[in-house]
Amino acid sequence: MEDLGDHPNPQNDVVDADDDDDPPMLSSETLSALKEFLAQQNRPLGVEPDPDNVESGEEEVALMAEDWKLSQFWYDRETAETVAREVLTLCQPSDSRVACIACPTLYAYLKKLNHNIAVQLLEYDKRFEQHGTDFTFYDYNRPEELPSELKHAYRIVVADPPYLSKECLEKVAQTISFLSRPQESYLLLLTGGVQKDTAAELMGLRPCGFRPRHSSKLGNEFRLFTNYDPGNRLGGWEQED
């Protein structure tokens, strides 16, 4: 995240700093940078025109600023669109309800590709309350403290646990079990490759060839796991040793 206080000449940011009777004042340059930062923090997660592709009609998804204290790292465009298109492929005309656990980027791209799809975003960050009834507050430490109408209501559940720990994945797995329909659900999990064995043990998931990427370059290897064979999509299931 950009540090607004990092300036070559910080002393220029204060006017009359030596006058103890006057409160310190920010320079116009710092005020402008602060306003830009605050606008970025509160920018809605949605779809906006891409100025570089106005004639082609392409749209870019506008995302809120990542809050690294909440372990937020948004997918890059290719990853978000690839996973969103996979989810839409799995949807049936009569049943297109999708649950997104801690993956707001995917929520935004699903809405971009199909405004009519019913997507429930389960998120800890209450900035996403702006999405109204599409938003459900979610704390992975309380995996089943969710509205009763969500129980076993989804054929498609996509999850991106906020932390790369076995404890976090175990609790998210409880939430997935709460949301998904027994024996008839498609599960997609985006998390670190180190969780491969735990994902298989808890939910019978296997890694796909497709490698998710983030806008912020992370050092950890990320993988996409599913409980179904995607065939030629997503790079297919990775062959077991």
Give yes or no for residue 14 having a pLDDT over 60: no
Give yes or no for residue 217 having a pLDDT over 90: no
Please say whether the beta carbons of 135 and 119 come within 8 A: no
Query: What HEC string does 3-59 produce?
Result: CCCCCCCHHHHEECCCCCCCCCEECHHHHHHHHHHHHHHCCCCEEEECHHHCCCCCE
Reported as a single tens digit per residue, the pLDDT across 126-185 is 888 988 999 999 999 999 999 999 999 999 999 999 999 999 999 999 999 999 999 889
CA angle 195, 199, 201 (to 5 degrees): 120
Least confident stretch, 2-6, 21-25, 45-49, 221-225: 2-6
Which 8-state DSSP code applies to residue 132? G
Please say whether the beta carbons of 210 and 82 come within 8 A: yes
- How confident is the model at residue 24, as a pLDDT? 59
| CATH class of the domain comprising 67-235 | alpha beta
Q: How far is CA 99 from CA 5, 88, 93, 179, 214, in A?
A: 39, 12, 16, 8, 21
Least confident stretch, 67-81, 85-99, 146-160: 67-81
For the chain, what's the residue count? 241
Distance CA 98, CA 119 (A): 5
Q: 135, 119, 117, 139: which is closest to 127 by C-alpha? A: 135
* Domain residue spans of the chain: 67-235
Contacts 24+ apart (CB under 8 A), 2-8: 2/37, 4/30, 4/33, 4/34, 4/37
Reported as a single tens digit per residue, the pLDDT across 51-62 is 343 333 355 565
- 111 class by beta-carbon count within 10 Å (0-12 exposed, 13-18 middle, 19+ buried): buried
Q: How far is CA 169 from CA 63, 79, 99, 176, in A?
A: 25, 21, 16, 10
For residue 140, count other CB atoms closer than 10 A to its CB.
Answer: 21
Can you list the alpha helix ranges (DSSP code H) found in the chain? Answer: 28-41, 77-90, 104-113, 166-179, 196-203
**Half-sphere exposure (Cβ direction) of 88: Cα atoms closer than 13 Å:** 17
Computed over every residue of the chain, the mean pLDDT equals 80
